[in-house]
């Protein structure tokens, strides 16, 4: 079992390469218009995280690293699905030593083989779109937006820097007239 960040990361990068070969990421040219719009939203979110708020959270984590027993500059694991994987493939190609992109079940499979329970070697960015629950759809009904009548989607955004160091939220989007539009931003959020 890998014990250093370098060994753990090498095992993860190798695992991800095999998963991506066995379960190829969908090509954007095969996406529906709605999936392409989702890919753009998730890609924009990923870029914003990498350039804006991710580095400040990483600095905060690194300030606690010695106290918590974490490695400084942890490997970033980007958990997403479908259109998010395609966005990651476009944005992160060549950066596999710093960021790995997988689905949640794939990463759970990896962690079963290579645990990092205290997240000493990695941090996680989760970002995907899913259909809303009935309660979440009601948020759209209450929003003052013409887009609330379209096909609703919830954007799940969660950064986990370590145990008890998390930030996240849910935003409501709508697909209508061949466009995705934000209906309600951060209608639910959390941090610790």
- Half-sphere exposure (CA, 13 Å, Cβ side) for 69? 7
Of 49-53, 73-77, 127-131, 141-145, the one with minimum mean pLDDT is 141-145
Give per-residue pLDDT as tens, 3-35.
799 999 999 999 999 999 999 999 999 999 999
Query: Cα-Cα-Cα-Cα dihedral of 30, 34, 39, 41, to 10°?
Result: 170
Give the closest residue to 34 by CA, choosing from 105, 119, 129: 129
Q: Give the pTM.
A: 0.94
- Model confidence at 149: pLDDT above 90: no
Q: How confident is the model at residue 146 (pLDDT cuts 50, 70, 90)?
A: low
CA gap 20, 27 in Å, rounded = 12
CA gap 192, 184 in Å, rounded = 23
Q: Compute how many other C-beta atoms are within 10 angstroms of the C-beta atom of residue 122.
A: 22
Average pLDDT, the chain: 92
């Amino acid at each position: 079992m890998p014990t250093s960040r370098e060994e753990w990361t090498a095992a993860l990068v190798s695992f991800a390469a095999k998963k991506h070969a066995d379960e190829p990421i969908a090509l954007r040219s095969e996406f529906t218009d709605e999936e392409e719009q989702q890919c753009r939203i998730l890609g924009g979110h990923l870029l914003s995280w990498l350039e804006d708020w991710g580095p400040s959270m990483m600095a905060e984590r690194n300030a606690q690293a010695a106290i918590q027993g974490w490695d400084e500059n942890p490997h970033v694991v980007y958990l997403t699905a479908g259109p998010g994987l395609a966005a990651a493939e476009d944005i992160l190609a060549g950066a596999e030593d710093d960021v790995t992109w997988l689905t949640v079940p794939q990463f759970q499979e990896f962690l079963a083989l290579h645990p990092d329970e205290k997240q000493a070697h990695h941090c996680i960015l989760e970002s995907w779109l899913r259909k809303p629950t009935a309660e979440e759809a009601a948020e759209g009904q209450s929003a003052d937006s013409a887009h609330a009548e379209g096909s609703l989607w919830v954007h799940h955004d969660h950064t986990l820097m370590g145990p008890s160091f998390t930030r996240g939220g849910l935003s409501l989007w709508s697909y209508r007239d061949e466009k995705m539009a934000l209906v309600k931003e951060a209608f639910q959020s959390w941090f610790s």
